[in-house]
Amino acid sequence: MTHEFFIRVLAIFGIYSAYPSALYRFKKTPHHALDGVKRIYLTFDDGPEPQYTNILLDLLDSYDIKATFFVVAEKAKQNPEIIRRMKVSGHTIGVHSLEHKNALFSSPSYTKKDFIESLKIMNDLDVQIKYFRPPWGNLNILTYYYASQNHIKMVFWTVMAGDWSKNTTEKKIIKKLSKRVHNNKIICLHDGRGKNSAPQKTIAALKVMIPHWLDEGYNFEKIDEIYKVINNSSIAESIKIINNNIMKW
């Protein structure tokens, strides 16, 4: 009886959380077809944090670079002035859950609350949410359902630099970005959370990498540009707009 119960629990967990996460974790991410233009997409999770996000926005503004911010809704509610600044500066704002809870272990009722309250908070801040990035890249079957019902696209990444780690350093982040970033990569960095002032190290690394990428001829684009191309493409062209990279940590 105990064995059968355990098997059933595992099966339910697999259908509810593990399978949806695995499916999306390894789902190919669309991007521009190779057309000779070098593009990269800067995205930031876990903010806004006043002590870090404003400095990051200053840096991006100094180069007139537009990025995509996946904000934690409760933090956005606490820092409306930063959200306004993101909008004025022309950045795209997506949502990164209500409180940064792991959807793998979230109940159906909490998953519903997560989406409804997140969207309400962002709507009150005059932000129409089109994109969602689940914390840790994990989701459950209801995450997918509520995203679909609200016409929200889930966006993952193709480059991660481990910049949230308590053991990270500016040099480690630079080394990983230098090695992993190539054309059409979606770069996931963090302007909030993290340990030992991790976002400060991320910003320091970007002060080195942004000029380097510009010298390499890269254009910085927002996530919107990916889907704009897909929506405007013919079927034949859309077939080419497939990324052959799974998420890299």
Model confidence at 244: pLDDT above 60: no
Residue-level pLDDT at 23: 53
- Between strands 39-45 and 153-154, the pairing is unpaired
Residue-level pLDDT at 141: 87
Residue-level pLDDT at 246: 35
What would the 3-class secondary structure string for the chain be?
CHHHHHHHHHHHHHHHHHHHHHHHHCCCCCCCCCCCCCEEEEEEECCCCHHHHHHHHHHHHHCCCCCEEEECHHHHHHCHHHHHHHHHHCCEEEECCCCCCCHHHCCHHHHHHHHHHHHHHHHHCCCCCCEECCHHHCCCHHHHHHHHHCCCEECCCCEECCCCCCCCCHHHHHHHHHHHCCCCEEEEEECCCCCCCHHHHHHHHHHHHHHHHHHCCCEECCHHHHHHHHHHCCHHHHHHCCCCCCCCC
Residues 6+ apart with CB under 8 A from 226: 30, 31, 32, 41
Q: How far apart are CA 203 and CA 244, in angstroms?
A: 29
pLDDT (tens digit, 9 = 90+) per residue, 41-88? 999 999 999 999 999 999 999 999 999 999 999 999 999 999 999 999
Model confidence at 3: pLDDT above 70: no
**Span 155-174, average pLDDT:** 95
Average pLDDT of every residue of the chain: 84
pLDDT (tens digit, 9 = 90+) per residue, 166-204? 899 999 999 999 999 999 999 999 999 878 899 999 999
Residue-level pLDDT at 32: 54
Residue-level pLDDT at 188: 98
Q: Domains (ranges, CATH) in the chain?
A: 2-240 (3.20.20.370)
Estimate to the nearest angstrom the gap between the alpha carbon of 151 and the chain centroid.
Answer: 17
Residue-level pLDDT at 15: 45
Instruction: Enter the pTM of the model.
Output: 0.84
pLDDT (tens digit, 9 = 90+) per residue, 97-150? 999 998 888 899 999 999 999 999 999 999 999 999 999 998 888 888 899 999
Contact between 93 and 119 under an 8 Å Cβ cutoff? The reply is: no
Lowest-pLDDT range of 11-15, 69-73, 208-212: 11-15
pLDDT (tens digit, 9 = 90+) per residue, 29-45? 555 555 678 999 999 99
Contact between 213 and 40 under an 8 Å Cβ cutoff? The reply is: yes
